[in-house]
């Protein structure tokens, strides 16, 4: 007798045989654990409907209603719910004659959908737990290498090592994207959470995931049409009922923030009421990345947890990155870049102050406007000279002519402003000719910044070449030059 039902499973099976043969066949294909949970769910729903102890026929009708919610792919492969990695000859169906790996993935998907339809939490699914335990046990028992020290390396050890490398690679690339967006493009960083409406919490996992990707695709397409360049990374996570939702770290130019918000909530209307929580600016990027990758490359090897997508990087970048990181600069995948650029990018990869330059040197971005920016924005001394100019104060300059002449000579020799100004003007002119309106809006603040810096330094050079200020008189207001500013000192009363 079932723990909840007032009659035995045999009685229920007999009632199903008389009432509906097809439903009985589907019921018997399930693993015994799922059969019990299905029977209990049907019994409790029938009890709520009739407010009394239901008879077997009423439970049969509820079972049919529950099966009617199953998608066709799950219903046609219910026997896979019992697959535990056993020998394929144990199954008689021709559809079962597949590679063990693909069969394992498919069986996990079937069990996931069954859990969703039967309201079973993942931590309650003893079938899936046993499947993972057997799979890990097999990997730990299979030796792939034997070290000279006598230590053995199992398939499980090798798999975990590969996952650690993959996780470290994706974490580094994610950090580089954020630093490039903040340090070079002056973007803001936002953490976005996008969810699906209630009807997708009772559908199959594949249907919900497809809808999620479809809506996100519409967002990217609208941003592309408007010429809005965004960078970042996104990953699918699961609710407690295993409904997928999106977590995104998105880097946006401040001028485009409102436009992006409007497009996002146009496609995810159900998140509009919690806009502040769903679309919020962040400053602690390390914590946000740790949260995004919290289940990345998990032990159970589910593809849901090993999938992450980068936004704004060119197609095939991961293969390009592997060759670059290994130092295979002669690889055909790196043929478009010079040895100098690759070496420079490799050198600054771990330099936190200049880390944002790496992706520009590697020309890693998909959008051509960002690719054009990478031609002028990075040069070997740009950041160092910029930091020195910003940090230096004019108060360090002496009023003696010799000191002014030496300072002027040094600034002229190491000046980077004029070439940079010419490059940005050239890029800006090309964008104007091509009528790239949105790209012009994105690059215009950078052009103004370069122009202001050029005028400021030219004024400082002129100040250094000027004669010492006249001595203050007793009858007039006295003044002197301090840090490049005119400061008026009132006569004491």
Q: Give pLDDT tens digits for 463-486.
A: 555 445 555 544 444 444 444 444
Write down how long the chain is. Answer: 493
Question: Does residue 263 have a pLDDT over 90?
Answer: yes
Question: Does residue 91 have a pLDDT over 60?
Answer: no
Q: Provide the CB-side half-sphere exposure for 175 (13 A, CA).
A: 16
Q: CA dihedral defined by 42, 43, 48, 54, rounded to 10 degrees?
A: 130
Rounded CA separation 378/67 (Å) = 61
Q: CA dihedral defined by 360, 366, 372, 375, rounded to 10 degrees?
A: 20
Is residue 59 within 8 A of residue 43, CB to CB? The reply is yes
Of 201-215, 234-248, 347-361, 429-443, which gets the smallest average pLDDT? 429-443
Query: Among candidates 100, 102, 76, 107, which has minimal Cα distance to 86?
Result: 100
Q: Give pLDDT tens digits for 21-72.
A: 888 999 999 999 999 999 999 988 888 887 778 888 888 999 999 999 999 9
Note the maximum CA span of the chain.
118
Is residue 60 within 8 A of residue 38, CB to CB? The reply is no
Instruction: Give me the CATH code for the 158-312 domain, please.
Output: 3.30.70
Query: Among candidates 402, 387, 388, 407, which has minimal Cα distance to 462?
Result: 407
Banded pLDDT at 94 (limits 50, 70, 90)? very low
Token output for 382: 């740009």
Banded pLDDT at 418 (limits 50, 70, 90)? low
Q: CA dihedral defined by 63, 65, 66, 68, rounded to 10 degrees?
A: 120
| Average pLDDT over all residues of the chain | 76
- φ/ψ of 87, rounded to 5, equals -65, 140
pLDDT at 493: 42
Give the burial class of 56: count Cβ atoms within 10 A of its Cβ; 0-12 exposed, 13-18 middle, 19 or more buried.
buried
Token output for 268: 């995810």
Rounded CA separation 301/304 (Å) = 8
Banded pLDDT at 454 (limits 50, 70, 90)? low
Question: Does residue 83 have a pLDDT over 70?
Answer: yes
pLDDT at 54: 83
Of 110-119, 262-271, 324-333, 479-488, which gets the smallest average pLDDT? 479-488
pLDDT at 264: 95
126 vs 84: which has the higher pLDDT: 126
Residues in contact with 199: Cβ distance below 8 Å, sequence separation at least 6, in sequence order: none
Query: Among candidates 134, 307, 301, which has minimal Cα distance to 234?
Result: 307
Residues in contact with 151: Cβ distance below 8 Å, sequence separation at least 6, in sequence order: none
Banded pLDDT at 262 (limits 50, 70, 90)? very high
Is residue 249 within 8 A of residue 288, CB to CB? The reply is yes
pLDDT at 67: 92
pLDDT at 467: 46
Sequence ranges of the domains in the chain: 9-141, 158-312, 379-493
pLDDT at 489: 44
Q: Give pLDDT tens digits for 163-173.
A: 888 888 999 99
Rounded CA separation 242/128 (Å) = 14
Strands across the sheet containing 308-311: 279-281, 188-194, 244-252, 231-238, 308-311
Helix (H, G, I), strand (E, B) or coil at 400: coil
132 vs 194: which has the higher pLDDT: 194
Banded pLDDT at 355 (limits 50, 70, 90)? confident
pLDDT at 390: 38
Q: CA dihedral defined by 67, 73, 76, 78, rounded to 10 degrees?
A: -70
Of 80-89, 210-219, 325-334, which gets the smallest average pLDDT? 80-89
Match 């029938």 to its residue by tokens. 46
List residues bridging with 146 in a β-sheet: 152
Distance, first Cα to last Cα, the chain: 106
Token output for 317: 């970048």
List residues bridging with 232 in a β-sheet: 250, 311
Helices 205-226 and 100-118: angle between axes, nearest 10 degrees:
100
Q: Report, as an integer, the average pLDDT of 328-333.
A: 87
Q: Give pLDDT tens digits for 53-66.
A: 888 888 899 999 99
pLDDT at 208: 93
- φ/ψ of 400, rounded to 5, equals -70, 145
Is residue 372 within 8 A of residue 427, CB to CB? The reply is yes
Token output for 20: 């509906």
- Cα 441 to Cα 222, 228, 327, 414, distances in angstroms: 17, 10, 38, 31
Q: Report, as an integer, the average pLDDT of 384-405.
A: 38
Rounded CA separation 83/86 (Å) = 7
Query: What is the chain's alpha carbon radius of gyration, rounded to the nearest angstrom?
Result: 33
Q: CA dihedral defined by 44, 45, 48, 50, rounded to 10 degrees?
A: -110
pLDDT at 464: 53
User: What is the value of pTM for the model shown?
Assistant: 0.70
Residues in contact with 131: Cβ distance below 8 Å, sequence separation at least 6, in sequence order: 83, 84, 85, 104, 107, 108, 111
Question: Does residue 97 have a pLDDT over 70?
Answer: no
């Amino acid at each position: 007798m079932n723990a909840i039902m007032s009659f035995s499973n045999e009685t229920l099976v007999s009632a199903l045989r008389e009432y509906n043969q097809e439903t009985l066949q589907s019921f018997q294909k399930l693993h015994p654990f799922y059969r019990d949970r299905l029977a209990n769910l049907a019994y409790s729903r029938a009890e709520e409907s009739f407010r009394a102890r239901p008879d077997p026929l009423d439970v049969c009708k509820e079972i049919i209603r529950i099966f009617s919610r199953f998608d066709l792919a799950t219903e046609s492969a219910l026997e896979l719910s019992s697959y535990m990695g056993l020998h394929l000859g144990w199954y008689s169906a021709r559809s079962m004659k597949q590679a063990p790996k693909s069969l394992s993935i498919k069986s996990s998907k079937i069990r996931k959908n069954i859990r969703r339809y039967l309201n079973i939490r993942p931590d309650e699914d003893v079938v899936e737990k046993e499947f993972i335990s057997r799979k890990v046990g097999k990997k730990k028992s299979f030796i792939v290498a034997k070290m000279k020290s006598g230590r053995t390396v199992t398939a499980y050890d090798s798999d975990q090592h590969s996952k650690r490398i993959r996780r470290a690679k994706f974490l580094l690339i994610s950090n580089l994207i954020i630093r490039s967006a903040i340090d070079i493009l002056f973007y803001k960083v936002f953490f976005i959470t996008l969810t699906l409406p209630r009807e997708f919490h009772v559908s199959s996992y594949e249907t919900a995931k497809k809808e999620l990707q479809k809506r996100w695709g519409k967002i990217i397409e609208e941003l592309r049409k408007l010429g809005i360049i965004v960078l970042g990374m996104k990953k699918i996570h699961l609710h407690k009922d295993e409904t997928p939702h999106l977590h995104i770290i998105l880097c946006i130019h401040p001028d485009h923030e409102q436009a992006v918000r409007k497009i996002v909530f146009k496609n995810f209307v159900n998140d509009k009421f919690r806009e502040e929580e769903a679309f919020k600016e962040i400053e602690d990027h390390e914590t946000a990345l740790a949260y995004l990758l919290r289940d990345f490359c998990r032990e159970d090897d589910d593809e849901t947890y090993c999938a992450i997508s980068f936004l704004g990087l060119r197609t095939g970048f991961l293969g390009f990155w592997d060759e670059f990181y290994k130092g295979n600069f002669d690889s055909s995948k790196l043929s478009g870049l010079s040895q100098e650029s690759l070496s420079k990018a490799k050198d600054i990869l771990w330099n936190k102050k200049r880390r944002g330059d790496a992706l520009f040197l590697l020309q890693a971005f998909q959008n051509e406007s960002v690719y054009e920016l990478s031609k002028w924005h990075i040069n070997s001394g740009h950041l160092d000279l910029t930091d020195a100019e910003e940090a230096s104060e004019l108060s360090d300059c002496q009023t003696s002519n010799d000191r002014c002449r030496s300072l002027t000579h040094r600034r002229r020799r190491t000046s980077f402003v004029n070439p940079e100004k010419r490059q940005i003007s050239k890029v800006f002119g090309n964008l104007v000719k091509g009528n790239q309106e949105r790209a012009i809006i994105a690059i215009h603040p950078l052009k103004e910044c370069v122009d202001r810096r050029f005028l400021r330094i030219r004024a400082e050079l002129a100040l250094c070449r000027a004669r010492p200020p006249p001595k203050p008189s007793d009858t007039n207001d006295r003044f002197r030059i301090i840090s490049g500013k005119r400061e008026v000192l009132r006569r004491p009363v």
